[in-house]
Amino acid sequence: MSAAVNEAAHSVAHTPAGGPRPSRRPSHKGQDEAFLVVDDLSVQFPTEDGLVKAVQNVSYSLPLGRTLAIVGESGSGKSVSSMAIMGLHDPKRTIITGSITLGGEQIVGRSQDDMRKIRGQVASIIFQDPQSSLHPYFTVGWQLREAYREHHQVSKSVAHTRAIEMLDRVGIPHPKRRADQYPFEFSGGMRQRAMIAMALINDPQLIIADEPTTALDVTVQAQILDLLNDLQAEFGSAIIMITHDLAVVAEVADDVMVMYGGRAVEHGTAEQVLVRPNHPYTWGLLQSIPAVSSEQAELYPIKGNPPSLLSLPPGCSFAPRCPYVDRVPDGKCRTDLPELISRSAGDHGLSRCHLSNPDAIFAAEVEPRIA
């Protein structure tokens, strides 16, 4: 395991399972009550080649003040599921089934006019690339101002003052002057801070951060993560962090959901998933991180490629790449889809795997490689 993941996972392991970390997490009334509830969500895209099953039967809940990290390889369904929450899929080209409730209100099937009222005010998203998310023809202050006026009947001057306040809050120096500048005049880290300011300007209760640190160097990345933690403590928002970086997960997440082939394959607290994982795919993700502490450390990449969402294999989607598939009798992995349930005694999360003794296999064969 990389030094960053190892150190962060160690700190997770010494936090009470499922409990908030006092140094980062706020104490908010009703924190244990789920604000976001996703139930049996499926997202499909009809194409000329067939039906793309991008997300299948995903369920989870998220209270205010907590962070859920959704991890997995590209094409696993992470961003597609979160875009469904924001109502960003074209309803004419997308089939969405299941239920998504925000603050008790069902949003699946809502009109685009209704979703525009929800986006920004109830839920906001921070995209991976602020360069393409910010409009190049308008100043940053103008864009923040109009985002605020979309949900508040205030004058331009009042909204502009709010924009300057938010730029200052996210750590942009000289916010009054910066508000009159264009996105190309900002550095990558500054643009990402501006995007965070835009996401928070209407005090949303849910923030979706889609790979918010991917294009940033490690120093700026750490600053952005610290900023999100501080803002969550201040505003009490629920956060969904979409990422492929397990070091980021170990640093910021309270709960973790691992996705593969459009399905959730493991779900639990950060401690359960990072310290005591039960699914071979999660083991593979942990083993494939290069260690920086040893020159002779061996890499254990996940062999093969993710499945086509047009034609998922029968049974477990990970079976064609799983090194433990032959340890399950009767070829069950290749024919029967496992349920997402608890697989081991003790404090473990949910796992979608047929292995009868995953905790023993992890302790004997996997953990020594990532320790």
pLDDT digits (tens, 9 = 90+) for 46-83: 999 999 999 999 999 999 999 999 999 999 999 999 99
Please say whether the dihedral angle defined by the alpha carbons of residues 192, 198, 200 and 201, taken in this order, is positive or negative.
positive
**Cα angle 327-330-333, degrees, rounded to a multiple of 5:** 65
pLDDT of residue 28: 43
Q: Which amino acid type is present at position 142?
A: W
Candidates 15, 4, 18, 27; CA nearest to 234 is 27
pLDDT value of position 188: 87
User: Domain coordinates of the chain in residue numbers?
Assistant: 126-203, 271-370
Spans in the chain with pLDDT lower than 50: 4, 10-11, 13-30
pLDDT at position 34 is 94
CA distances from 93 to 43, 45, 89, 321 (A): 11, 6, 8, 31
d(CA 124, CA 196) in angstroms, rounded, equals 9
Question: What's the confidence (pLDDT) of residue 14?
Answer: 45
How many Cα atoms are found within 13 Å in the side-chain-facing hemisphere of 94? 18
* The residue to which tokens 């450390």 are assigned: 297
Is-above-0.85 flag for pTM? yes
Q: Percent of the chain at pLDDT above 90?
A: 68
